[in-house]
Structure 1
Amino acid sequence: MTRTVWHLPLYSAGLVMPAFAVLLAGCVTLPPVQPPLVGPGDAAQWAHQVGVSEQAALSQSPVPRQWWALFNDPTLTALEAEIEANLDLQAASLRIEESRARLGLTEAARRPQLFTEAGYSRDAISKNSGLHRLGQPTSGYDTWSLGLQASWELDFWGHLQNQEESARANLDAAWYGQKAAQVSVAAEVARSYLLLRSAQAQLELVTENLQIAAELVRLADSRERNGVATRFDIASARADAAGLQARYEELQHQSDALKNSLALLLGKPPHAFDRRVAVAELPPMPARLPIGIPSELAQRRPDVLQAEARFRAAVADIGAAKSDFYPRISLTGNLGVQAFNLSDLGSWGSRRYSVGPTLYLPIFDGGRLSSQLALTETRHRLAGIAYQQTVLRAWHEVDNALSGYSSELRRHEQLELALTQNRTALEVAQRGYRQGTADFTSVLMARRSLLASQYELNDCATASALAVVALYRALGGGWSSHLQDGVAGGRI
């Protein structure tokens, strides 16, 4: 790239530079910093209000930071208190430090720079040089120097200011990114914990049914020896017991894998939590679910705030790219001493100085500046689309979570009714088999129906709890939203 560099005399610079700056200062205009408006829409608002009104457990109270405490499970609460050990969160924290350091670099560029220099050299010219032919001796001589250098770029058109604003917005984005990761990790810990409790509950169900199956095998074997039952009965009973044992092994492996999943989320080695998450019941559903006000969703979710911060950074990048088309003016100066002998450095005659402004004006750069501006404008539009996508996805996630929560509650009522009926059917079938009025197939079918109902009810209870986790994940629960006022503008 070619630049014109002008060094103006100090007496004329005081008049020329301010006038030139005033002439061009109005040329750089920035687009509005407001992100594109993305409202939830009438349909989403209506669906949200209907969901709240239909469920007595839902309220528009503020979303709690520690929403997992609603399950009233001490083990889950203790695990959530250790999420800072998650390696993804630690990496996100380091990205904040990286962004803070980048902001420091941009802030330093706007401040005056002062350096000290000291040097020594010994020089000699060639006998065949033109200077020697003019009479300069070829013997070596020393040169000593000591001084200060200062420079300060006058940011008339906001090039450095926009770079700083971009770095500040990226710092905000990194901070919100860390909070978004915190929300995600907290939800994953709760999800893995609930799935573990579900697997343990199914293990207990299978253990109970294994005992029943063993009793049926004993009964069928006894009836076969007495000539009352056939080999079909004993074979069916043993096959059913073997199937239950296989299911037990599968659930045991699933339980171990979920324990390791919790350990990995919290930065621990395998089997680190085996004792802490011993067999326990699935936590009960919370009595009340505060879900906040729909219009505040975009201000609660850290990923939405992160997308907004990236949009602000893209706007600042456009300003920096536009201002790069105009001259950049710097004040430079140096003051020091220079002498052939070290002892002469302190003399008044060894002083030297220079001071004055420098103007850098791009004339031809092969289209680099135009391409850079086009790139920043495209990134600005992409950041706007990303913001819209994030807000829209947030509303979809909340709507899906509310719908799933409501449907699982209705499903739970029907499954409880089915479980009661299947228990009655099994009792009748077993009593008839002992009395000889029913065959073993009826007992087997009734027991399998009961087992299926138990599994489905456990799955429904788990799905209901997971719907709560998905809801608070969609609502952005798990971080202190009141801290965001101190974050705006990179003040973290």
Structure 2
Amino acid sequence: MLQPRRYRLPAGLLAGCCLLVVAGCQTGQDIHPQATLPQLDAIQPGQSIAGQASATAATASLPTLAAGDWWRRYGDPQLERLLGALAEQAPDIALAEARIRRAQAAVDTIGAADAVQFGVSASAALEHFPDHYSYSSQYAGKSGSEGLLMADARYRFDFWGKRQAANASAQARQQAALAQAADAGLLLQTAIVESYLQLDSVHKLRALAEAALNQRQQTIALLASRVRAGLATELDMVAARDALTQTRGELANIDAELPRRRHQIAALLGQGPAFGDTLAAPALLQLADPLPPSILPASLLARRQDVQAQRAMVEAAQQDIAVARAAFYPDIDIAAFAGLRAFDLGQLMRPGSVAAGVGPALSLPLFDGGARRGQLKQRSADYDAAVAAYHHTVMTALQQVADGVVALRGARQRDELAQQTMRDWRVAATLQQQRAHSGMAGALAVNAAQLALLGSQRRALEAATRTGLAQLGLVRALGGAWRPASATSTNPAVAAATATAAAQSLPTSQR
């Protein structure tokens, strides 16, 4: 009796197949990113930041202001209303929120792959069954019908951590989107506050210019009397009229600057010029100088949302590398189906038409022309680029903090000098007024002293504005989280605001 011959797969061929599978899984181990993530603790902060150590330690008992409400320290109800409505009106904030929703959707999409996938399919067809195919003689060469009603399920195992890495990458990108939105919000807040500070300065400059205009008009009136008395010449009148014309020109420029500043604020809020026209004059308190909460780069930069966003992008790029490496290993699924299938639609709903099955499935492309290696190289290069961008952001952030500290220090020194000059001129104006009461000085001398005082008040206001803008720049550099140099703010506005009130209260002619 003849025995059926059994064919066995040659051992060499079997070993070769195993080697191919192993080679397919191992190719790519020689590809690695080149960049090294910088360690923040190893970065030297520099003398400008380190020089704040004693001031920072002296204010350790004071709370660090949160990045979300630092602007409340200005104590201006109108400013609080503007920034409170920022999230609802500003286009930049709306764009950032759209990016957050997109990142969240990516997380949900990738997370869905961890669940069992279910599906249902149904079909019905009239067809002619060919002779030369897999149909039995009962159907071959005949016409008939075919029906199917099937439910199927599939689950892909994550033995190599591919989906876990993809999910971690999506979550890191979501964190980056949140940080970018917070950073965009801070930049927009500081831009609005900057325009608001300048609007406040323009209002006060106008009050000083009006006071100077009144003084110059009185000077012309006094000179006219002296010309008629033969005590002055027309040359003196020409010089006085020229100064009056210049002051009127300054007022015209200021009147044009006021609506421009209002419209700028409205545009930042996503509003039209009509909204800006409704803004009243600011009523700001003077901020205490901001101090860094810490001089350690790791703690200092932890509050910078742009740094946190770039760090999250580095983490996302690192997880993308893990996804690309997992692609070298086979995908293993388990699939199951159950339902009804029949060649005759009339037999579809009968018990004999029940079909069911379950089993594993393995997928591994052995030869892909280097596509997976190219993908891994691309992901490694993306990681190097993310690390470089993170390093650049860290260095830029430290530079901005150091520059902000230096700029504020210089602005504060100029502010103090301008305040001292203003105080000196106030004393001189008072003395000149006393001399006029004693008959030792004339009205022109009093007016000249008061004009000089107004000039010093204007310089003090400009210096105070530069100090306020320097404070704001340091707040922006610190990520909106800072510690005030003193427990309370000064009241009111800036020292130049009291100078304006004093200028308006001074006598404008000889009493």
Work out whether 1:193 is the aligned partner of 2:196: yes
Work out whether 1:316 is the aligned partner of 2:309: no
Kept after mapping to 2: 8 A contact 1:144/1:339: yes
2:390 paired residue number: 387
Indicate the SS of the match to 1:372: helix
2:38 maps to a residue whose letter is P
1:248 paired residue number: 251
List aligned pairs for 1:299-310, cutoff 5 A.
299-310=302-313
List aligned pairs for 1:51-200, cutoff 5 A.
51-53=52-54, 61-65=62-66, 66-85=69-88, 86-124=90-128, 140-200=143-203
Call closer, same or farther: CA 1:444–1:212 in 2, change over 3 Å.
closer
2:372 maps to a residue whose letter is L
1:485 paired residue number: none
Cα deviations across residues 221-273 of structure 1 (Å, max 9, x unaligned)?
33334443333222222222222222122222222122122222223222314
**Residue 344 (structure 1) aligned to one of 342, 347, 354:** 347
1:283 paired residue number: 285
Kept after mapping to 2: 8 A contact 1:120/1:143: yes
2:487 paired residue number: none
Q: What is the RMSD computed on CA atoms of the aligned residues?
A: 3.7
1:466 paired residue number: 469
Structure 1 unaligned residues grouped into runs of 5+: 1-16, 480-492
Call closer, same or farther: CA 1:444–1:382 in 2, change over 3 Å.
farther
Indicate the SS of the match to 1:268: coil
Indicate the SS of the match to 1:185: helix
Call closer, same or farther: CA 1:31–1:89 in 2, change over 3 Å.
same
Indicate the SS of the match to 1:294: coil
1:210 paired residue number: 213
How far 1:116 sits from its partner (Å)? 0.6
1:182 maps to a residue whose letter is G
Once structures 1 and 2 are overlaid, which stretch shifts more, 351-360 or 308-317? 351-360
How far 1:346 sits from its partner (Å)? 2.1
**C-alpha distance in 2 between matches for 1:387 and 1:366:** 34
Call closer, same or farther: CA 1:268–1:69 in 2, change over 3 Å.
same
**C-alpha distance in 1 between matches for 2:387 and 2:290:** 33
Kept after mapping to 1: 8 A contact 2:215/2:451: no
How far 1:125 sits from its partner (Å)? 5.9
How far 1:424 sits from its partner (Å)? 5.8
Call closer, same or farther: CA 1:102–1:34 in 2, change over 3 Å.
farther
Kept after mapping to 2: 8 A contact 1:61/1:293: no
Indicate the SS of the match to 1:163: helix
Once structures 1 and 2 are overlaid, which stretch shifts more, 102-111 or 335-344? 335-344
How far 1:26 sits from its partner (Å)? 13
Work out whether 1:362 is the aligned partner of 2:365: yes
**C-alpha distance in 1 between matches for 2:237 and 2:143:** 113
How far 1:284 sits from its partner (Å)? 2.1
1:482 paired residue number: none
Call closer, same or farther: CA 1:115–1:250 in 2, change over 3 Å.
same
1:251 maps to a residue whose letter is I
**C-alpha distance in 2 between matches for 1:236 and 1:427:** 25
2:192 maps to a residue whose letter is V
Kept after mapping to 1: 8 A contact 2:75/2:284: no
Call closer, same or farther: CA 1:62–1:47 in 2, change over 3 Å.
farther
Once structures 1 and 2 are overlaid, which stretch shifts more, 67-76 or 154-163? 67-76
Kept after mapping to 1: 8 A contact 2:53/2:295: no
Kept after mapping to 2: 8 A contact 1:304/1:387: yes
2:51 paired residue number: 50
Kept after mapping to 2: 8 A contact 1:169/1:310: yes
Call closer, same or farther: CA 1:109–1:33 in 2, change over 3 Å.
farther
Cα deviations across residues 435-455 of structure 1 (Å, max 9, x unaligned)?
999998x99987775454323
Work out whether 1:292 is the aligned partner of 2:317: no
Kept after mapping to 2: 8 A contact 1:157/1:323: yes
Cα deviations across residues 326-356 of structure 1 (Å, max 9, x unaligned)?
2222222322211244442221221223432
**C-alpha distance in 2 between matches for 1:56 and 1:342:** 86
**C-alpha distance in 1 between matches for 2:57 and 2:280:** 33
Identity %: 27
Kept after mapping to 1: 8 A contact 2:117/2:155: yes
**C-alpha distance in 2 between matches for 1:59 and 1:407:** 24
